Amino acid sequence: MKTIQFREAIAEAMSEEMRRDESIYLMGEEVAEYNGAYKASKGMLDEFGPKRVIDTPIAELGFAGVAIGSTMTGNRPIVEYMTFNFSLVGIDQIINNAAKIRQMSGGQFNCPIVFRGPTASAGQLGATHSQAFENWFANTPGLKVVVPSNPYDAKGLLKAAIRDDDPVIFMESEQMYGDKGEVPEGEYILPLGVADIKREGTDVTIVSFGKIIKEAYKAADELEKEGISCEIIDLRTVRPMDRKAIVESVKKTNRLVILEEAWPFGNVATEITYLVQSEAFDYLDAPIVKINTADTPAPYSPVLLEEWLPNSNDVVKAVKKVLYK
């Protein structure tokens, strides 16, 4: 095993796959000459050249369309958005073309493409740069949505996403690029659609994904001091969702808390809540609690932002609520 940063895990995954398959290329704003806005493509221009690591204009709709079109001639592009907030400019191409090419061509064309970049908040970036759109994309048939929380998962899942023959939305975080973690020296791939039990427990199930799961770990450490055992599930892939892992855990613990950095209405936590009440209702000993951001645009003020975001104290309170403590 070796210890690397999250950004290095991303770069390694892309580089290894590009060495393996010449039809893969990377395109996006500042991915080449600048080594990536977050240095997640460092050294790739030098290795693969300007035909396979391509700097684009600030034109998300345009380069998304170019990349999607290129899949129909045998290419497997990776498109980097500087943030998924900017993907809204190109979302017509993602929803109306990438997600639908296979069906609308009667299976004549697939669309092997990865759209990747950071999601959700990252400090004081203002309302328009602090949004989480996992549920938007996951709502669309034809798209797969991956949200890793650490370097090991990021590298293994990104390699799987690049090899997938369907479009994959791969969502990272500016606040995770510097995170360090162990990854194997050799090649490995993690399958899409498989959750991971990060911490086994018996009293309550906590489901989360992405960087906000760190708050669940903090809460579980505090609750352990009080004799409360938390099982933490990292979804890793939002769509397809590992429904079995969630249901089996709830059948064991009989209680569920869901932690998600997203607005409360119609989010991923809502879907999980429906899943559990429909497939494991008789096993529940308390109502499900979901923890989300406040139902407002993200504030710029650091004091208000702290209140807006879910934190470990919110998780502790939610766990005690479902335990009637």
**Number of Cβ atoms within 10 Å of the Cβ of 186:** 5
Cα 64 to the center of its chain, rounded Å: 19
pLDDT band at 23 (very low <50, low <70, confident <90, very high): very high
Q: Which amino acid would we find at residue 87?
A: S
Per-residue pLDDT tens over the stretch 272-318: 999 999 999 999 999 999 999 999 999 999 999 999 999 999 999 99
Q: What is the pLDDT of residue 205?
A: 98
Across the chain, which distance is largest between two alpha carbons, in Å? 60
Q: Which amino acid would we find at residue 315?
A: V
Q: Quick check: 40 and 178 in contact, CB under 8 A?
A: no
pLDDT band at 105 (very low <50, low <70, confident <90, very high): very high
By annotation, the residues acting in catalysis are 60, 129
CA distance 213 to 283: 24
Domains defined along the chain, listed by start? 2-183 (3.40.50.970), 196-323 (3.40.50.920)
pTM for the full model? 0.97
Q: What percent of the chain has pLDDT over 90?
A: 100
